[in-house]
Chains A and B, each alone.
Chain A
């Protein structure tokens, strides 16, 4: 492992690699060390449920309880349509919102590691995303049950969730890095993000249909989180996402990744000081 750059025996050492290149190396290296973030994420899950009787099944149970509670109380339409809608929406939302709230802690929670060993910083973002993907996988178990029980016919459109989830994952990565950096630098950010996520939950059509928005429907493209939920939810329910959902999500992915990468390239050396 070289620290700043590779160097040879000569006295004239080459200049350190540019910050862009270093950041790129960081990201790529982080991605390729999948065994590491996978192991870390698994460890996180294990730690969370160590000593508990049901272990990771608590993830499913808590999700089921939430769906049941909200589904019974907020059912404004036909329950056979509402529950699948709610289930898929909540599972996706749960994934996205947890990545965001835990993204605040991407680097702060890894403080012990960051100040002890040199690892690519993106590892920690991957760890965060991977952990939540594992949780998502658990929760996803509920979805086929619900779809089958309520007779939802999905069809081939289900294939569309693959690029959708891929896109979501990419977004989760930059969000984890971005929020992780900002939160480490400005400690005011985590509570703000927390409040923000809670508010978004209520203004995003998850446990109520988008049509309920009325005239606010036109503002819906401004909510990228809706787009994120929509591109996964619609194919699973056998329909097609709203026309602009893919566009919004793609735009956010490109824009967010670019901004985050530039910021990451600039601020990466300072992260160790901040945590």
Chain B
């Protein structure tokens, strides 16, 4: 199943103009606030009218202006997880969960009630009212409610934004689980690069209502042109496997044959996960570095050097582990003769891979 969106929408002076395909998995709508992410997701949901174009999940047409089709939200077969949960305060958790399922009668469920309850760990909450739940519990119930509506498409509008860091860490694994287990496209709005790096299969980057980039997450996040929220946010994402936990407090990871060491994490050996390496935590060296305290050194070939108006430049290096980004000054970029095709070493400080970036 795949979501295809091709729409134009004008609200006052703002105009949204997008065209992309979102395959199964989690498609992150990423961009700064005011870039049109929520407008876009609400257009897909049918909650905001006045958008022209076509929105479809495979042959299930939600809207097609040429054919004169516009389904109201209740007919779109959605599961929408809102930022604030929006649980019904007068219903119990069980009744909330069953609300969408009741209206989805006659459609095959994508998950069973008991499985949802077990997966989200909300069995003990079923008879409670939402006002007695914590923020994280509310979001878990909201996810369950969306899943049980037998959706053809799951929408999530910054579902973690209202939660504190600890609660975010509690909810993220559920979205990973949805991404990996459920055969329904997920459109996920976020302005957090860490969330996108950890969750996204596909990234749709927006700025000022226009698409800036679309593609598989690993490609988009590793592309030096991908600077939607300033240079500091730039970083590469690598797929890694946990190899072993060493007695000196380090965990060894395998990134396509290259070892990486990070402070000990709780994930079991054999677990596949992602790490994000921020560009400003990478140092470049033309010669093989010796006598450095950094443990992680990747050899590679420079793919591109991109500099803007400021003093900095972003260098992308293709290494066996994947594409790594480094932020250097333009001065050192010229001094080292960094240009496309040059061989160099990317030095990554061990501590640069923060545990919160090392998503499980």
Chains A and B come from one and the same complex: no
Binding site for A on B (CB under 8 A): none
